[in-house]
Amino acid sequence: MFSTAFLDLPPLAGASGTVTLPGSKSISNRVLLLAALCEGTTTVHDLLDSDDTRVMLDALRVLGCGIRQDGATVHIDGLNGQLTNPQAKLFLGNAGTAMRPLTAALAVLGGDFELGGIARMHERPIGDLVDALRQLGCAIDYLGNDGFPPLHIGTPALQLDAPIQVRGDVSSQFLTALLMALPLVATKDIVIEVVGELISRPYIEITLNLLARFGVTVQRDGWQRFTIPAGCRLRSPGDIHVEADASSASYFIALGAIATRASGQNSIRILGVGADSIQGDIRFMDAAQQMGAHIESGPNWLQVSRGSWPLKAIDLDCNHIPDAAMTLAVMALYADGTTMLRNIASWRVKETDRIVAMATELRKLGATVVEGADFIQVTPPASIQDWQAASIHTYDDHRVAMCFSLAAFNPAGLPVRIEDPKCVAKTFPDYFEALFSVSHTAQESIPVICVDGPTASGKGTLAVVLAQKLGYHFLDSGSLYRITALAALRAGLGLDAASEGAIAKLVTQLQIRFIHGHVLLGAEDVSETIRTEEAGMNASKVSALPQVRAALIALQHSFRQLPGLVADGRDMGTVIFPDARLKVFLTASAERRAERRYKQLISKGISTTLPSLRADLEARDARDSSRTVAPLKPAEDAQLLDNSDLTVEESANLVLDWWQGKQPFQTV
């Protein structure tokens, strides 16, 4: 997951390949709560690992539920409707799929509970659910503004004779909460009557389907009247598998419709969900097909490719796919006219006011947008010249971040900045990694920052910090020569001209990764092994072999991957990446570099002297500067940075300022 302040997506040219989706949030949290409330032990497979599911798991643990987790498999010992801890204060973040059903379940069971979350959760309405529960005799008080969390829940005096009325036109989660909670107290038939039009009906179908898996069959009279049968009990199904998230599938369905091509690898294969999904958002397929996507489907897979191009504008009632409909608004940027998405009033009470958010960010890209109480109308930029590079504010809303990533495929070849990319952790923590795994673009479109400089100038340390702050890949070029020498010796090769061809071939087979300051060769951490004086001398030997240098240049180029690269060395800006967008050359004095190296060695218990270190560095500078191949020197367009008196953080901030100045959108 990218935890940076922002993530810059370079212009992306196309996409193809296979994506495996995470589990459904809607199914995951429903299953977790039902498993906790029921009789017996339930093993949940393929559980989504996200902010919302962690919030639910933490709450269930606090309530006394036995939970044993092994990766995506969770074993839950059901409470059989009897809380072992009837007093708790629960923090539920911004997880509506935890707040609403837990409110209902705890209200009918009774106790002394306080339920709250982040500031946005305290702006999301819950009054209609509270009103319905109060009809039952539940004791619920508002601790802040009436109609909104946080809540205090006490001991109920249940009255089950009269039908319970609940509004259905604000959020289907209110009805879902009642349906999941009332089997706990169904000593007689309990009737729920929906007032007004029930929105997001497919989510209710998910709830009814899962209740049946846990032994409770709810009788339904249309979409207005639901009956919980007397004497029903929640019982564990034993094992249950969580379907992949159909809402998350929408981004990759859209990707296939927008970014695949007519030749070569030309489709996106989505694993984990198919057309027979129990999730309503799978009907996003129908809308995407109306816009021109070509979709094939199997039991748990979808294959999507471009059909009509440009996409076709549509006019659609989106009541049945409220979350996935956000993706349609971004697909509208690639359509041949004006797209109208109707009946989406529920967008206003989600993680943010999504109608306002989508309209605001679409306009940044150059679209013409009309918004209303329950609709949004999107007209794409009139021409390529009308597209604009944009920094997308994400409002701490995972779906805003994910759907606007598709704007990076714009025909104008403009980058898109996604602010606060970690907000995708709510449902799809590895979304951007999945996107990059199937996206491609021209090598020259992938940004590179080069940090060059003499020995002990701090270039490696600075480059690591820059890569972390930008979410870019990192290349320590000096390590490659050391690793090559190490691998050659382990393969029984001499570090001389006689083995030159064999070593060059070996380079093409090396699997090298730089992760959190560690250097990995295959699965082995060789960070310490390659830092010895002997390793440095061996690196010098292989660097003198022309075929090996050529192979290593190709290897270094391979590190240029989405979303970008920070490379450090002595010839990154002059030889390896001469087209890099930003080149930095460190110019700290030999005296200051010697002082830094002295402190490092002394801290490790290695005896040395300042004069000897300085003399050694000056001698190395002279040798490196006079090399016939790739001599140490700044590129003509490099920014010179004297970091003699700067901390690493100060140096990094200065370089980031230079980098921001090269971007086409405003800084965050």
Catalogue the active-site residues. 323
**Is residue 32 within 8 Å of 56, Cβ to Cβ?**
yes
Taking residue 298's Cβ as centre, other Cβ atoms within 10 Å add up to 12
Question: What is the spatial distance between Cα 353 and Cα 593, in angstroms, rounded to a whole number?
Answer: 53
Peptide bond connecting 664 to the previous residue in cis, omega within 30 degrees of 0? no
- State the pairing for strand pair 368-371/375-379: antiparallel
3 state SS of 309: coil
Question: What is the spatial distance between Cα 196 and Cα 175, in angstroms, rounded to a whole number?
Answer: 12
Query: DSSP assignment of 502-533, as one string?
Result: HHHHHHTT--EEEETTEEEETTEE-TTGGGSH
- What pairs with residue 164 in β-bridges? 192
Question: What is the spatial distance between Cα 66 and Cα 73, in angstroms, rounded to a whole number?
Answer: 14
Write out the two tokens for 598: 């002295």
Please give the DSSP secondary-structure letter assigned to residue 572: I
Question: What is the spatial distance between Cα 452 and Cα 460, in angstroms, rounded to a whole number?
Answer: 9
Question: What is the spatial distance between Cα 205 and Cα 261, in angstroms, rounded to a whole number?
Answer: 36
**Contacts for 618 with CB less than 8 Å, ≥ 6 apart:** 590
Taking residue 152's Cβ as centre, other Cβ atoms within 10 Å add up to 15
**Is residue 114 within 8 Å of 89, Cβ to Cβ?**
yes
φ/ψ (deg, to 5) at 449:
-115, 125
3 state SS of 70: strand
- State the pairing for strand pair 301-305/294-298: antiparallel
Find the Cα–Cα–Cα–Cα dihedral 66, 67, 68, 73, rounded to 10°.
Answer: 140
